[in-house]
Structure 1
Amino acid sequence: MIEQVKIIKLTGNLNATTSQDFRQNITETLKVGTKIVLIDFQDVTFMDSSGLGALVLAFKTLRAADSKLVLCSINEQVRILFELTNMDKVFEIFPSQDAFNQVLVSKA
């Protein structure tokens, strides 16, 4: 059975130390065949370039598998990193899970 939406809730830091676990999580998600992966950043306190690199790799990997990666609930520090690298133009970012769910329901 294909899962429509998989929510991955990250916590703490997304950096060189934790990005390997994140990539593994994406690989597992691909095996299920999820159509949309929502990364919830609500409890992420810090993200560095390694974390951003892992996100870009996940984005490309999921896109190649006809899946979509979207983000929600990013904090100010993460938002600044996205804006400085123009990744805010690449990723679809929602203010919250509720905002994402409203858009998803409106498209159904």
Structure 2
Amino acid sequence: MDLLMSVRPGQGCTVLEVRGELDMATSRQLREALQRLVDSGDRQVVVDLAAVGFMDSSGLGALVVMFKALRDAGGRLCLAAVQPAVRNVLTVTSVDQVIDIYDSVPAAEADVRPTDAAGR
């Protein structure tokens, strides 16, 4: 199954809305979409996981790799609207101690820390 993703401007950030399952078959798509955002200069990225009901270790790996890439570029990746099964994976692996997780996209947007004058 393909991962459906859409990008939209948020309040001081870019929001990547993700739909589907994050697994070995789709994690590369997520990583590539996030890399395109980094390459285009986006530095504040909120990944909206409201429509993701499953994530395995490869999906987790894609998020961690891109979290580090954004951090190294002076930016920030955070997660929003994480469903219980996905949150469990983040908690069990302690990734929730490293990547900020918000109950909703508006809550994540409210905590954006602009990195430049444009707030990108």
Taking structure 2 as the reference length, the TM-score comes to 0.80
Which 4+ residue blocks in structure 1 deviate beyond 2 angstroms? 101-105
* Deviations 1:27-78 (CA, angstroms, capped at 9, x unpaired): 1101221120100000001000000011110111111111100100001101
Structure 2 residue 43 is the aligned partner of structure 1 residue 35: yes
Matching of residues 1-108 of structure 1 within 5 Å: 4-104=12-112
Taking structure 1 as the reference length, the TM-score comes to 0.88
Distance 1:104 1:22 in 2: 21
Structure 1: runs of 5 or more not aligned: none
Distance 2:94 2:68 in 1: 16
Distance 1:73 1:18 in 2: 19
Give the root-mean-square deviation of aligned CA atoms: 1.8
Letter of the 1:95 partner, please give it: D
Structure 2: runs of 5 or more not aligned: 1-8, 114-118
How many pairs are equivalent? 104
Q: Give the CA deviation at 1:82.
A: 0.9
